[in-house]
Amino acid sequence: MTKLQTRPPIAFSGSPLDRADPLRADPDRLAALRGRGGRLLLLDGLEPRMTAAGGLTWGSVADVAVDAELIFLGLDPQGVGCFVAAPRPQEVTVAPAAWNLWAALGGMSAQDMAIYGTARALAGWHGRHRFCAQCGAATVLAKGGWQRSCTSDICPAEHFPRTDPVAIMTVEHDGRLLLGRQPRFPPHRYSALAGFIEPGESIEEAVTREIWEEAGVRIRDVRYVASQPWPFPSSLMLACHAFADSPDIAIDATELEDARWFTRDEVAEAMAARARGQEGVAFSAPSVTAVAWHLLDDWLRG
């Protein structure tokens, strides 16, 4: 049996910043934090500006234009206010992260990755919500960036950052694991199946529906495993494991390029190869930054 590697923290979780919710509704205290050595996380659009050592780059709030919309990320362990500037609409994207971003994230500390994940999700939300969804009027930043308010005199709408829940799941049958691949995946890469949870669904219902729709597999005994904030653009991955009574697969080609069952030895070998930065023999395992990696690791640990 291949020896399992030490389990890393779930990427984009574990931020060291105190979100300091009571400060968000206090403009005077926020202004004081900005003026008292406030730190500004530097982004190029939504991409992190990296130091030579692979960490996040910070500047001073004092260097920002007076009319810039500053989002309050929280207080660092020394009590210093940390902010990020809302991007311009043309700088916002909802596309999957580019390969060069994943390369940069691979060398980033867990805490920096968590700070960046929060900043990217919030900044992207502001860039996409410049106008009121209720009346179409312009909106302005409020509560330190954790709200946008409509500017219309007749519309009282207040808009808040949203997180979209996504079910991501592995399925087991007779000691084998069901994994699939999308056309956009790197060659040879297989991962857990996933899909957005729809209105009126529980997590268990979404897992059951998605597996049936994408792979034609009926499942039972859905078990929650872990969650992961996913800032591309703003999701919460809800990782689950389930069991199937039949190995029969009927792939929805509009969703998946392929789906198949892998043995425990094949999964273990692929995960060990991923730890060495290599491709597995049967398939290429998910990156350690994805909660799918934790699902496979959890299954191997029994």
User: pLDDT tens, 108-167?
Assistant: 999 999 999 999 999 999 999 999 999 999 999 999 999 999 999 999 999 999 999 999
Topology of domain 164-300, CATH: Nucleoside Triphosphate Pyrophosphohydrolase (3.90.79)
Residue 105 pLDDT level (bands cut at 50, 70, 90): confident
Q: How far apart are CA 171 and CA 151, in angstroms?
A: 48
More confident residue, 35 or 211: 211
220 neighbors 240 (Cβ within 8 angstroms): no
% the chain with pLDDT above 70: 98
**Domain range list for the chain:** 21-127, 164-300
Return d(Cα 217, Cα 252) in angstroms, integer.
11
Residue 152: how many CB atoms within 10 A of its CB?
15
**Distance of alpha carbon 207 from its chain centroid, rounded?**
18
Provide the whole-model pTM: 0.93
Q: What's the pLDDT band for 97 if we cut at 50, 70, 90?
A: confident
Identity of the amino acid at 126:
H
Residue with tokens 């029994």: 302
Q: Which H or E run includes 44?
A: strand 43-44
Task: Report the pLDDT value the prediction gives residue 2, as an integer from 0 to 100.
Answer: 55
pLDDT above 70 (res 49): yes
Mean pLDDT, rounded, of the chain: 94
Q: Kindly state the DSSP code that residue 151 receives in the 8-state scheme.
A: -
Closest CA to 225 of 174, 298, 166: 298
Tell me the pLDDT band of 263, cut-offs 50, 70 and 90: very high
